[in-house]
Amino acid sequence: QVRLEESGGGLVQAGGSLRLSCAASGRIFSSYAMGWFRQAPGKQRDLVAAITSGGIVYYVDSVKGRFTISRDSAKNTVYLQMNSLKPEDTSVYYCAVKQYAGRWLDDRQYDYWGQGTQVTVSS
């Protein structure tokens, strides 16, 4: 059984910072890509940032220059450093793991998901 455990969410004022962590445990044979997604009430789930095992990263335009994704492959852990937070970043953030190569920007291709952590940015 695979489990993804997220931590680091919370309430912060606009301009503040949070660091999300996600540790994967269980029988994961491979973790080609690890990503962070977010979903606000009534909206679709969107990819925020993702990173491959080779270190290739992707950021959605709205977070470029503010968020940084990183991973510790030995620990099967992915991080999301979020700086200069804005009220529009308020959402539930989910981490996910895609085991094998290909289409790593497509949320439907991810194999395992965390339970989500709430990030709330007040104005």
pLDDT in tens, 76-118: 899 999 999 999 999 999 999 999 998 999 999 999 999 999 9
pLDDT reading at 31 higher than 90: no
Confidence of residue 11 (pLDDT cuts 50, 70, 90): very high
CA atoms 83, 89, 90, 91: torsion sign: negative
pLDDT in tens, 32-77: 999 999 999 999 999 999 999 999 999 999 999 999 999 998 888 9
Residue 69: the pLDDT is: 98
Residue 30: the pLDDT is: 83
Cβ proximity of 7 and 20 under 8 Å: yes
